[in-house]
Amino acid sequence: MSAPVFRFAPSPTGHLHLGHALSAILNFGEAERAGARFLLRIEDIDLTRCKPEYEESIYEDLEWLGINWESPVRRQSDHFEEYAAELSRLEAEHLLYASYETRADLARLITGRDPEGGPRYSREEGLSAAEAAEREAAGEPYALRLDMEQALSRVETPLFWTEVDKQVEAHPERWGDVVLGRKQMPASYHLAVVLDDALQGVTHIVRGKDLFEATAVHRLLQELLGLPAPIYRHHHLLVDASGKKLSKRDQSTTLRDLRASGISVAQIREAIGL
């Protein structure tokens, strides 16, 4: 029987903060206790936001935290062809279609909301066929969306995933027709993470509760693509004084800054409740 496989998969779009430290330490600790392999993956599929200096900072922060990982590190930007091949496969099975709506269009046309509060897209509410054809002819950017109704008709439902030691029913339909790729990007987060986990043999996924609902989409993609389903654990999130989740976008205090201020790893662990 092969050893379990855990992973930590940050995006180099900024320096890591305490929330990343929590996830990385939990993953590494569980891997050590289980005698499992521990992998680091760099999720740099968004080339417009990901920077080499942030990737280097990830390595420095993790080494400082005492976290070791196997080599080589998988970088998503090295595997665009693999993602494109799976998109083509889904397209050949008539499970994808191009949509040309802008953000303004979505705000104007779409009434439903997904589990994250964003527009829950459905083909019926989108642009008319004539409008879409006009934008296609003009070479405008597009998103490749999963036809959720068609996708669900191809798998055995209801879908479930294992959350530690219990079964959770998945409801991917709550997300509507999710984006799996774009004209300028070979895959969305949903598709890339599902493929990466399968290709790396990841058996246990430990990540924040903010991705709990997205697991429903991931389970659907695993079924459509014939991929194994890992065991999941969604841990609590760290929040700031106002109760808002720590994030790079809000410029939460970084591990780099904390390290420079003289804070110890023991103090970091105490701050994140470990």
226-254 residues labelled b (16+ CB within 10 A) or e (exposed): ebebbebbbeeebeeeeeeebebeeebeb
* Top-ranked range on mean pLDDT: pick from 1-5, 216-220, 269-273: 216-220
- Token pair in block for residue 53: 């200096």
Whether the predicted pLDDT of 249 surpasses 70: no
Model-wide pTM > 0.85: yes
* Residue 127: band (very low, low, confident or very high) from pLDDT cuts 50, 70, 90: confident
* Residue 174: band (very low, low, confident or very high) from pLDDT cuts 50, 70, 90: very high
Task: Say which residues have a Cβ less than 8 Å from residue 110's Cβ, sequence separation at least 6.
Answer: 119, 120, 121, 122, 125, 126
If you average pLDDT over residues 72-96, what whole number do you get?
96
Whether the predicted pLDDT of 156 surpasses 70: yes
Q: Tell me: the pLDDT tens digits for 187-238?
A: 999 999 999 999 999 999 999 999 999 999 999 999 999 999 999 999 999 9
70-90 residues labelled b (16+ CB within 10 A) or e (exposed): eeeebbbeebeebbeebbeeb
